[in-house]
Structure 1
Amino acid sequence: MTESWSHDGRPVPDLVALLRARIDAGHLETWLTSESGRSFAFVTNTDRAMLMLLNGEGDAGEHATTPNAEGESDGFVLSNGQSDTYPDADTVALEQALTIAGHVVREGTWPADAHHVSDR
């Protein structure tokens, strides 16, 4: 059975469309929750994105990576106004991030070709 995900208590029929609309509206942080209690975070600066998959409250989770990427990017603005900077190795390009996010929500796992690390 496929896991159901929601955003703000509403089902997410098309995650990529939701994320693009939120980015266009200036909402750079999006959290999804699943019926099993897992969470998925998508935070972007419109060029790169930090993607995190957590198994439940208190879990350090896993995040998508770009191995061997150098440098860092700023402008990852959270809903509370905090602006973060992340190493590029800990984020992925926006278009790749949208593809990865769609797969995680559809399949419940990272795509086979997506690099990710455990933060547990």
Structure 2
Amino acid sequence: MIESWTLDDVTPASPAAALALLREQIAAGQLETWLTSSHGRSLAVITNTDRAMVMLLDHEDDPGEHAITPKVAGRSGGFVLTNGQHDEYPDEDAVPLTEALRTINQVLTTGGPPADAAWSIDR
């Protein structure tokens, strides 16, 4: 069975439609988004509109895995969660938004990150 993803109780017709909806949400200031798969997995995207934390979880208690930018120094703030919390992450644990969108598209299309993406397994 092919995995499908739901975003805000809507199952987009395609990964491209999901990315379009995600871009709309970011443009509207909604910087935390969770997608849920038909297989019970979750894909979290938290952005400050420049960089994004992209996490893939197999189940609710899973420490998961996430996209990274290896060997980059610094920290970025402005990651606003839906509960109003403002987070800051090491730049190594987030990726540029364009890379995040490419990674999200690949996960939605194939179930996993791009082969050339830097990725940390946190399990």
Counterpart in the other structure of 2:24: 21
Question: Shift in Å at residue 119 of structure 1?
Answer: 1.2
Residue deviations 1:58-81 (CA, integer Å, cap 9, x gap): 001000000011101000000000
Matches within 5 A, 1:30-109: 30-109=33-112
- Tell me the number of residue pairs that the alignment of Structure 1 and Structure 2 aligns: 120
Is the Cα contact below 8 Å between 1:2 and 1:107 reproduced in 2?
no
Deviates more, 1:34-43 or 1:12-21: 12-21
Is the Cα contact below 8 Å between 1:52 and 1:61 reproduced in 2?
yes
Counterpart in the other structure of 1:10: 10
Describe the SS at the equivalent of 2:25: helix
Q: 2:116 aligns with which of 99, 113, 117?
A: 113
Q: Distance in 1 between matches of 2:53 and 2:64?
A: 12
Query: Considering only aligned residues, what root-mean-square deviation do their CA atoms show, in Å?
Result: 0.8
**Matched-pair identity in %:** 56
Is the Cα contact below 8 Å between 1:45 and 1:76 reproduced in 2?
yes
Q: Distance in 2 between matches of 1:15 and 1:103?
A: 12
Q: TM-score by structure 1 length?
A: 0.96
